[in-house]
Amino acid sequence: MITLLVQARKDAGLTQVELGKRLGQRQTFVSKFELGERRLDAAEFIEICRAIGTDPHDIIRMAETSAS
């Protein structure tokens, strides 16, 4: 799912810095979860999807499809 989040961020034309600002976080927060150094809880995942402008359900569906 993280790979899909990274791709969604890039598709939205957002840098890690810009996404961090939308979340009220630093760029390092974005970098850490994108690199897998930090896990996201469900609420953070939804907040990040909304900040990117993507539907969290779509990300989950794509992750399920690619896993099977």
pLDDT at 68 over 80: no
Domain span at 16: 2-67
Mean pLDDT of 47-55: 98
CATH number of the structural domain spanning residue 53? 1.10.260.40
pLDDT at 67 over 80: no
**23: phi then psi, degrees, rounded to nearest 5:** -90, -10
- Output the CA torsion 25→36→18→47 (10° steps): -60
- Hey, what are 10's tokens? 């890039």
Q: For the chain, how many structural domains are there in total?
A: 1
pTM of the model: 0.92
Structure confidence at residue 66 as a pLDDT band (50, 70, 90): confident
Q: How big is the CA angle at 18 (ends 16 and 32), to the nearest 5 degrees?
A: 25
